[in-house]
Amino acid sequence: MSARFGKARRDAFFKALRETGNQSLAAERAKVSRSWVQLHRSSDPAFDGAVRAAISASFDRLRMSGSGKPSPSWAYLDGEELVVRGTNGVRVQIARARVRQWTPRVEGRFLVALAASCNVKLACAEAGLSVPSVYLHRRRWPAFAARWDAAIAVGYDRLDQELVACAIRGMDPEFRASAGWEEAPIPPMTVDEAIRLTGLHQRRARRPGKWPGVRQE
């Protein structure tokens, strides 16, 4: 092992590799050359075996997490946003986010809009990504699906409250001022649309785990 790749840097490289499953990111975090790491793998079977084992362990851990969000220590690298990227649920690693990809920040915008509107299409428009992509993202990452369900539950509760509030406001002009709501305003919709959405929610509540447009495995 050369001075360029001493024990401290070797330990840092393998620590990052076990956390990300990404040789390039691990080399950058350990401040070693990617080409040198590859050369070392080709000339040292023990080192190559250790790299393979670290990557395999990372894949298993990231798959089991069920989340598309990397840990806080791997949210960014050199100012670039990182994501958990998977291929058919097998090869999973932390990588740099691509353009128009679901990232933790995009997920946050989508979920806030979904809780405000209960409307997947509107929430996708707010996030700047397509409806098919969000359903694919939901199927791929169970933790995101759970946050989606929680956002929908909040949104439907707010719709129920708004329907009641609309009736009360017709009799009491001071109701809105006294309610003290701090959430983002519900997007404009008719009473019929609100009733239809709450009806959909009630039917879904009687069939847990069933979502229109989501393929049930």
Q: Tell me: the pLDDT tens digits for 59-83? A: 777 776 666 677 888 888 777 778 7
pLDDT given for residue 132 in this prediction: 93
Taking the alpha carbons of 48, 85, 139, 146 in that order, is the dihedral positive or negative? positive
pLDDT given for residue 131 in this prediction: 93
CB 57, CB 50: distance < 8 Å: no
CA distance 161 to 71: 36
Inform me whether the pLDDT recorded for 148 exceeds 90.
yes
Helices 131-140 and 142-169: crossing angle in degrees, nearest 10, is 120
Query: Residue 149's pLDDT band (boundaries 50, 70, 90)?
Result: very high
CB 93, CB 61: distance < 8 Å: no
- Contacts with 50 (C-beta within 8 Å, 6 or more apart), sequence order: 14
- Contacts with 114 (C-beta within 8 Å, 6 or more apart), sequence order: 120, 123, 148, 151, 152, 155
Whole-prediction pTM: 0.52
SS3 breakdown of the chain: % helix, strand, coil, rounded to 5? 65, 5, 30
CB 202, CB 209: distance < 8 Å: no
Q: Tell me: the pLDDT tens digits for 111-139? A: 999 998 888 999 999 888 899 989 988 98
pLDDT given for residue 111 in this prediction: 93
Q: Which two tokens stand for residue 50?
A: 């250790």
Task: State in Å, rounded, how far the first CA of the chain is from the last one.
Answer: 49
CB 195, CB 163: distance < 8 Å: yes
